[in-house]
Amino acid sequence: MEDVKLKYTGKIREVEIGVGDKKIKVGGQDCLNFHTFEGVIPNPPVISFEVWDSIPEDWPESCLVPYKDVINNPVEWAKKCVNEYSAKCLTIFLNSTDPNGLNRSVEEIRPVVEKLVEEIDIPMIFWGTGNVQKDIDVLKMVCEVASGKNVGVGPVVDKNYKQIGASAIAYKQVVVASTPIDINLAKQLNILLLELGVPENKIIMDPTIGALGYGIEYTYSVMERDRLAGLLQGDDKLAFPLYCYLSKEVWKIKEVSIPENIDFKLGKEKERGIMFEALTGILLLLAGADIVVIRHPETVKLIEKLIMDMK
């Protein structure tokens, strides 16, 4: 019997993050993720390690332990990810700028960004807090400080895309366009960024996602529709790489956060969390993700093995 294969007419745009020998490329495929029997996938999915600029107060102990010696220093934290865990990409979460938290100013956080840009030579994505106005100020500063480094900045949303997008254009950075899990909103924001003048090879989509057991089915469906629209239906406004910040969603759910001494039937807390993160990551990769943000180093090993086995 002859194999049934889809014939794709579209192609996902290729986007580079970083510079030099350690830069990464995402996208570029002309078929669904891992469907190498149907097309060409020039760039395998990428794992981005999670690094915070302040001490995480809501992380479980199992996630704090691998970074306990560097948790107070985001630059050393980033270096540990690179040197000890062989990270190829980092997402730097500037959570200390949150107006509802530490509310650090742009001037306070600037030296941290400068040091990261100076001392870390792998691709980085800088992430704000989701506060529209504060993210404008913070991410515009990041774009300026990281001039020539081709970093990613996000989340860029419909209420601040003009300001952040203009800075990204001026300093030639990559924009991560973030929308609620909705294909039409994602397409609309992409169109707005393109009309603003952001180059086609400087846009990555963040569809926002749900964790295993908390909306993963809907997430999978929308991401799959994004990919099929770009690959099969000729919709080039959706043919951009996909970025998934899944670690935040996974490690806050009750099945992961309930200690084993409260409910032993759920199994060991650390192993439970790693498996939830790994399964969520694998499902998102199958749905079309090009970059997944992972918190625990042991989860990274599991997902890296899958990526290697599926290439």
DSSP symbols for 146-175: TTTS--EEEEE-TTTHHHHHHHHHHHT-EE
Written as one letter, the residue type at 85 is Y
pTM given for the model: 0.96
Angle, helices 183-196/161-171, rounded to nearest 10 degrees: 50
∠ Cα 209 211 212 (to 5°): 135
Dump pLDDT digits (tens) for 7-49: 899 999 999 999 999 999 999 999 999 999 999 999 999 999 9
Dump pLDDT digits (tens) for 175-219: 999 999 999 999 999 999 999 999 999 999 999 999 999 999 999
Flag whether pLDDT at 267 surpasses 90.
Answer: no
Name the CATH topology of 15-310.
TIM Barrel (3.20.20)
